Amino acid sequence: MHTLPSRTVMERAYLQSDVTYDGVFYLGVRTTGIFCKPSCGARKPLPKNVEFFATTREALFAGYRPCKRCAPMSTAGTPPAWVADLLTLVDRAPDARVRDGDIRTRGIDPARARRYFQKNYGMTFQAYSRGRRLGKAFEQIRLGKRLDDVTLGHGYESHSGFREAFTKTFGNPPGRAHRSACLLVTWIESPLGPLIAGATQDHLVLLEFTDRRMLDAQFMTLRRAFKRPIVPGTNAILRQLTDELALYFRGKLKKFTVPLAYPGSPFQQKVWDELRRIPYGTTISYEELADHAGTPHAQRAAGSANGKNRLAIVIPCHRVVNKNGKLGGYGGGLWRKQRLLEIEQGL
């Protein structure tokens, strides 16, 4: 699950429009910002302009929009008319937030939409809509371009439209503010899907999987806490993180040394400090976490602080599991929690 065939195999598959690979992987075309099924009949992009994804969800949260021609959101046949209606709704205004009320006014039961999307696309309709909304801003970061470098003809309606999408997600970019006075965000590919990382000149302040539900709220907290403009870019902190992550995913790094800053309430900070003390390759229960934080009866509160951790992996909230041995929750998805624990166990 969520693993891809080799790049050679995928390149051959899409160049030959091999229909047997539909649903196995999706390809994003960097030059157009569109993602396709392997069997798409459109003109084949050059392999160097292509990146591959295991799920439509990953492609969306990497900033790609579904191809109109091969309709990659419909691998399981043509979707029912009401689903097509919802997809069109988001297509027309990807920047808008679609609420349950908007769905209901179209005569569609939001619960039914949630179930259909979950079953067929592996994400709720809200997640799809969020992916499309954040996608534009994320693409900017993924391409590593500064806002001022964005030009027409890159698959966006206009420069200002792009800036608007970015602003909606990250707040107002600076005019000529010095980059050292900004919070820089960058894109990091990982075997578990793309991550977004943010840092000041001195500290790492954000590391999250891009499809995480809480991400919107995390950006807002960061804007409030640091009172700095957020702009795409990289610096020494982010480069150090990228290097350390690469080693971590290969099972070759047990302790991150990149400097961290994680403002929060005193209780949250206590919990996050405790998380950092859990040794690599081990787990503790939510009860033990509450205990370590000096509040033995506050396991629910400890669990909630755990879930608000903004520094995935480096503050190892994935090392907290249920007492009964079950994995418990994870903001980045349970399959990722499982994989992280497996990596640390050398599996």
Contact between 241 and Zn ion (CB under 5 A)? Answer: no
End-to-end CA distance of the chain: 16
317 catalytic? Reply is yes
What is the footprint of Zn ion within residues 40-69 (CB under 5 A)?
A: 40, 42, 67, 69
Smaller CB separation from Zn ion, 67 or 184? 67
Q: Which residues, at least 6 apart from 328, have a Cβ–Cβ distance to it below 8 Å?
A: 286, 303, 320, 321, 322
Q: Please, which residue, 28 or 303, has the CB nearer to Zn ion? A: 28
Pick between residue 37 and residue 136 the one whose CB is nearest to Zn ion.
Answer: 37
* Alpha-carbon gap, residue 178 to 206, rounded angstroms: 20
Which among 20-28, 32-40, 177-185, 227-235 is the span making contact with Zn ion, rule CB under 5 A?
A: 32-40
Least distance (Å) between residue 344 CB and Zn ion? 38
**In which residue are the tokens 């590593």 written?**
144
Residue 37 C-beta: closest distance to Zn ion, Å:
6
Among 10, 27, 29, 36, which residue interacts with Zn ion (rule: CB under 5 A)? Answer: 36
Q: Which is nearer to Zn ion, 69 or 255 (CB)?
A: 69
Does 70 contact Zn ion by CB under 5 A?
yes
Please say whether the beta carbons of 90 and 176 come within 8 A.
no
115 binds Zn ion (CB under 5 A): no
Of the pair 72, 316, the CB lying nearest Zn ion is at: 72
Whether the CB-CB separation of 290 and 278 falls below 8 Å is answered with no
- Closest distance between Zn ion and the C-beta of residue 276, in Å? 45
Minimum Å gap between C-beta 40 and Zn ion is 3
Residue 167: which H helix or E strand, with range? helix 159-170
- Max distance between CA atoms of the chain, in angstroms, equals 61
- Least CB distance from residue 73 to Zn ion, whole Å? 11
| Binding residue count for Zn ion, defined by CB under 5 A | 6
**Residue 26 and residue 37 in contact, taking contact as beta carbons nearer than 8 Å:** yes
Residue 134 burial (10 A CB sphere; 0-12, 13-18, 19+): buried
**Sign of dihedral through CA atoms 255, 296, 321, 312?**
negative
Q: Which among 137, 110, 140, 134 has a CA at the least distance from the CA of 124?
A: 110
Choose the binding region for Zn ion from 70-78, 231-239, 252-260, 316-324 (rule: CB under 5 A): 70-78
- Active site positions, annotated: 317
List of residues contacting Zn ion (CB under 5 A): 36, 40, 42, 67, 69-70
